[in-house]
């Protein structure tokens, strides 16, 4: 088994630019933290796994031309998986790919914090992987509760995600913490 982690870059794709909820507010900080992590991972020789989401939504259809990384995402990666569900494991070969390489630890990043990133974290933990959830290298958008009408900003959602993941499914880490490990 290897102590080398794999970086999971979940759904950092063009599709989101066309979603009605897309906002640029947090993108500069997200971009800076994610690219710093990816460059640091590349320097350390850590595998970088791209995961792209496809479904029947017009912007996420395979034939839309939008199921590709955002333009600023660094080119280097080791493998790409296309998923059709909220987590990166269920309908991809990700688990087998990680196990074939003896990888026991994954570092979760991407879009949306509380959806595909959180769901991937829970599934990875249930499959026996050690998980580092790097909140500052995830992105989400404000939401309104369907029943109460309460508004949740992106930071509220990220804090709630940290609350339910920490110590149960993952360690909540910063980019600098993760890169200092090796």
pLDDT at residue 1, as a whole number: 57
Strand order in the sheet with 171-172: 79-83, 48-53, 6-10, 105-111, 130-139, 171-172
The verdict on residue 103 lying in a domain is: yes
Report pTM: 0.97
Tally of structural domains, the chain: 1
User: What range does the domain containing 132 cover?
Assistant: 6-180
For 109-155, write each residue's pLDDT tens digit.
999 999 999 999 999 999 999 999 999 999 999 999 999 999 999 99
Section 90-106 average pLDDT: 98
The verdict on residue 13 lying in a domain is: yes
pLDDT at residue 181, as a whole number: 87
Cβ atoms within 10 Å of 21's Cβ, excluding its own: 10
Provide the CATH number for the domain around residue 86: 3.40.50.850
Specify whether the CB–CB gap between 169 and 127 falls below 8 A.
Answer: no
Section 104-113 average pLDDT: 98
The verdict on residue 1 lying in a domain is: no
The verdict on residue 155 lying in a domain is: yes
Among 175, 109, 165, smallest CA distance to 139 is for 109
């Amino acid at each position: 088994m290897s102590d080398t982690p794999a970086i999971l870059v979940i759904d950092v794709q063009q599709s989101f630019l066309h979603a009605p909820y897309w906002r640029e507010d947090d993108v500069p900080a997200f971009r800076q933290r994610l690219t710093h992590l990816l460059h640091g991972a590349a320097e350390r020789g850590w595998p970088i796994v791209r995961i792209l989401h496809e479904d029947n939504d017009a912007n996420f259809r395979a034939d839309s031309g939008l199921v590709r990384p955002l333009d600023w995402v660094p080119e280097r990666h080791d493998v790409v998986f296309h998923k059709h569900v909220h987590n990166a494991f269920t309908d991809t070969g990700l688990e087998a790919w990680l196990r074939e390489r003896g990888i026991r630890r994954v570092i979760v990043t991407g879009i949306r914090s509380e959806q595909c990133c959180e769901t991937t974290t829970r599934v990875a933990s249930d499959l026996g992987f050690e998980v580092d959830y790097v909140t500052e290298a995830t992105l989400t958008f404000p939401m309104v509760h369907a029943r109460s009408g309460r508004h949740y900003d992106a930071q509220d959602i990220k804090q709630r995600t940290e609350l339910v993941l920490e110590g149960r499914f993952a360690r909540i880490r910063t980019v600098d913490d993760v890169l200092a490990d090796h």
